[in-house]
Structure 1
Amino acid sequence: MGSQGWAPVLIHSTGVWLADVANLAPSTLVGVDISDRLFPPPKAHQSFLVHSSLQLPVNWSSRFSLVHQRLMGLAFGADAWKTCIGEYIRALKPGGWVMLEEMDVVFSFGSDFEIPPVSARSISALRSLCATRNIDPDIFPKLADMLTAAGFVDVHVKHLKLPVVDGDNDGLLRTSLDAWRGMKAAVLTLGGLGLGKDEEEFDAYLAAKDAEWRNGNFCLPWIIWTARKPL
């Protein structure tokens, strides 16, 4: 595994990204997560394994051509980011690449437009939630330097804007609202974080957010970091 062709490791995912890559390159693909709950049935040249990106197997050193991770920004503290980046450079072959993708939902790089009021409330709530979990909400602007400090070269950062509603496609909006519904209990336990002191007020907030995003041209920043392990 990983000794021939292009062998990415997909960190923390349902396997959607890995499946897309499989359609482009018939290579050995490995997906890992801390739980197998969301693993799809593996296809040819695919395997899904339960591992933590903070402690990859010892025998994975210099094994992969690409390591890909996405959507862990509000799960990792600064120390965890350093650890996983260190594990990724260890797991890569010389000349291999790491690719990190994150939705900057707290606008840590700032915004070139005025954030509407309902959305501003959710950003404030997320920042408060990060504080309760010892997570730095402004870690993204620091990741390029962290990649360099770990030994990566050719570090690049790409900024994209994804519309939450794009014509008839409202998938990003629905995904965001579903994520907030999943956090409802935790948010209410903390007093609502300005989004509502009970379920009725919280649900009313989500309805207002739905309306605000559907009636505007709101976009969320999507950030992509790529970096190479030296030869």
Structure 2
Amino acid sequence: MEHNESGGTGCPAGQTYLLDNAGKEASARFAALAAIFDPGTIRHLEERGLTSGWHCLEVGGGGGSIAAWLAARVGSTGRVLVTDIDPRFLESLQVTNLEVRRHNIVNDALPEAAFDLVHSRLVLLHLPERERALARMVAALKPGGWLVDEEFDSSIDLVSSANPGEVYSKTYVAMARTMDSRGVDRRFGRRLFGRLRAHGFVDVAAEGRTFMWHSGSPGVSLLRSNYEQLRSAMIDAGYITEREFNEDLAGLDDPGFMMPSPILWTVWGRRP
């Protein structure tokens, strides 16, 4: 594994990324994300024809599960560059055809027209400068190369329910308000199809995936880690009280708990 650093926080001056990799909850979050979403991500990457010898870019590698899979898939004749603003969870990927780079997708340069595949998951929605970041990802593709991006649409009805026990807790609503206040675009997944068309991509298509999260599932593990990491931000902003937070956290262990997940939109297209 090669290791290259090019600094940058990826956040506006004076702000920190809400779900910072330095948080003690990050490892649990990455494990849950991999359990929930990796099977679908891998299916979509395979369907794009990914094979040995490809050069791939993974933007915002997080816990590294997809970067490691890419490196194994492209083999010794392929290369994978995986970037993150905080690559602490990627540094253990001791793979000869994989380079880890500390990198700010908004401000730091990337090789242009260098990759057969560029992939990212749950990165752009967090960036106020998401259009600039997307343009950099587009420019990094070879002509004919595939972009596969996966982003949430969490702008769902937070009031009504279809099942007894199905709830959007006060803490979930507070988390949404906190993200809105930090410039997160919670509908960006739904916008992606149009954004790739606007960049002139061909063979653009999309799929939305959603799940019913219930007590004991990886989805509830993800909720728990996000709630705990955002606890101070939500309470300090006055979006929720400490008592309400503790009640909702305990409610995740209720055998009857259930809630639909946000929609994860996977959108793909080829650069002409």
TM-score (structure 2 length as normaliser): 0.69
- Matched-pair contact (CA < 8 Å) for 1:10–1:32: yes
Alpha carbons of structure 1 residues 38 and 50: separation in structure 2 relative to 1, 3 Å = same
Partner residue, 1:49: 101
Which deviations, in whole Å up to 9, do the C-alpha atoms of 1:93-136 show, x marking residues without a partner? 0001111123434438x999638664253453233223322333
Q: 2:147 aligns with which of 95, 98, 111?
A: 98
Q: CA deviation at 1:44?
A: 2.1
Structure 1 pair 64–180 and aligned structure 2 pair: CA distance change class (3 A): same
- Correspondent of 1:37 among 88, 92, 101: 88
Is 1:197–2:241 an aligned residue pair? yes
Displacement of 1:74: 4.7
Is contact 1:152-1:227 (8 Å) kept? yes
Normalised by the length of structure 1, the TM-score is 0.80
Query: Structure 1: 5+ residue runs without aligned partners?
Result: none
Opposite residue 6 of structure 1, the aligned amino acid is: W
Q: Which amino acid aligns with 1:144?
A: F
Contact 1:56–1:87 under 8 Å retained in 2: no
Greater shift, 157-166 or 47-56, is seen at 157-166
1:226 aligns with 2:268: yes
**Counterpart residue number, 2:115:** 64
Alpha-carbon distance, 1:49 to partner? 0.4
Q: Cα distance, 1:151 vs. partner? A: 2.4
Matching residue's letter, 2:90: F
Q: Is the 8 A contact 1:55 1:87 kept in 2?
A: no
Structure 1 residue matching 2:210: 3-state secondary structure:
strand
C-alpha separation in 1, matches of 2:207 and 2:141: 22
2:53 paired residue number: 5
Alpha-carbon offset, residue 65 of structure 1: 0.7
1:150-197 residue CA offsets vs partner (Å, 9 max, x unmatched)? 22222211011234349xx72221122111100001111101x2xx31
Q: In 2 relative to 1, CA 222–76 (structure 1 residues): closer, same or farther, beyond 3 Å?
A: same
Matched, 1:206 2:255: no
Within 5 Å, which residues of 2 pair with 1:78-227? 80-107=129-156, 114=162, 118-119=167-168, 121-165=170-214, 170-191=217-238, 193=239, 196-198=240-242, 200-211=243-254, 214-215=255-256, 218-220=259-261, 221-227=263-269
**Alignment RMSD:** 2.9
In 2: Cα distance, 1:129 partner to 1:28 partner: 38
> Counterpart amino acid of 1:229?
R
| Structure 2 spans left out of the alignment, 5+ residues | 3-51
Closer/same/farther in 2, CA of residues 112 and 206 from structure 1, 3 Å limit: closer
Residue 164 of structure 1: SS of its match in structure 2?
Answer: strand
The AA in structure 1 aligned to 2:270 is R
Deviations 1:46-84 (A, max 9, x none): 1100111223425x000011111111255123xx22111
The 3 A distance-change label for structure 1 pair 31 and 88 is same
Write the letter of the residue equivalent to 1:201: E
Aligned partner of 2:16 in structure 1 is none
Give percent identity, aligned residues only: 22
